[in-house]
Structure 1
């Protein structure tokens, strides 16, 4: 059986790489003695909404800048829409819309005029349709009513929306959005979430970097996790979660014997905390590992009183903490 299945697996991997909208081969960037990105093999499938996840300073923006040809890699190779970068920039970049780091526009021009100047600088844009496309982009990000206001009068959130509009002036096969919800209020964040879903529904591949795990969980089909310049894991959301052990939660008035039983069953990293408002009950948590959940209640029932029992699938936060031993911003 193994002799038959191994080639199929290799063929599937090769096919995934050929069909990827974005990929890299041992991509590395060093600044002097500091390694900002350390030999990563990124793989963003065509049609995916890929959450490029990691705390600030983990190497996400540097990776994106190498993908777009804005900085040269120290070693390795980025490949964008099938074209090696930066030499393939003329082929790939007209099909890419990007927001990298903070938006920069002329402060004394209106939002509409800033986008018009940006569009005029695009040699692939049709000037006959510029007005219509500029207004459509402004409308899509909720700025049409503020189109005549000067950029200097825009709030941080409005500036971020204008930068996203700049990436939408032309139909794009790939959208690369670096921290697109930075500075947005909850309503603006929801609007960006819906916008990303609409873009993906129209057939675009979206690579969206973020340090907000809750946002990534809501909008992304795939995820890659960066930490200290390394790509720790990547895949579909389900695949990445399944690489982390689910947890078990038991509420009881007999924590000591319960923890002994759970430990004997093979449940790891056990911890107990009092239930808020009930001094007699405690909640015990631990990693399920390979233990069959159906075996837990019968083992506990002979010795302790159980008031609650749940098995919880790991969140992205759980996964990140297990991989690194650290946490980061999970708010949305």
Structure 2
């Protein structure tokens, strides 16, 4: 039976095979085989353990945290991903969520305090930080700080979870660390409309952060062509973040986004003026950018405006107040 599992035989997915397996292997056997040297065997028996003896799964996972052997598993109906054995175990457990609050905390601490040797498990760390960001634990501060000051993750949501958790310690001495992190992440990998620096500044518009928006535009945006059509506007977050600042420099940046940036359509029509006009109408409560808003008012196409607003209402995505934009 072990050989059939290692060879990924189709039989191992049949009920009859599993029934025979449960007759042949005892509870102790299944527990031990969940730490088998072959990753396919270990993961197969861990899945059985989750169903038959879930109370044993946490001990097995903790025993395997340093197991760096990999296997490919199904993560959805049409995707396969390569993971280490403990990653695969945590993924499978997440479907049933059988671990207690205390066990999840112990798992998190075991990874966080040994992150240098267990970096392949840092995804769990970021998920835990995200879930507990509003109440950062003081004892994790040195570890989270070290993570933040190292080279950033390649993943937007990982970085955001880490930054939000760290910022919520609200230590004045950390302001320079956060600012440095934001500056470095101007160049983070991934889609330009999901830049962590822009997103964070949009929600926390401190005066000292504004130069980062200017640098983002100059080094990531200037001279290139970006999407602005009826369905999508790549600089929604950048526009919203800039609008938070009521300064002449902010006004100049909005002008660059509006007048100096090249746009293209991947939808039904080009709509940069309409997208920016809607954002200004909905977010500039003080009318500080009225000069630009009034200029765009004479350039926008009402049919295009209605199409954009209807699209967002249709998908229950309400960044705009349609009554103000019209």
Q: Which TM-score applies when normalising by structure 1?
A: 0.29
The structure carrying a bigger helix percent of its residues is 2
Task: Tell which structure's C-alpha radius of gyration is larger.
Answer: 2
Larger strand proportion, structure 1 or 2?
A: 1
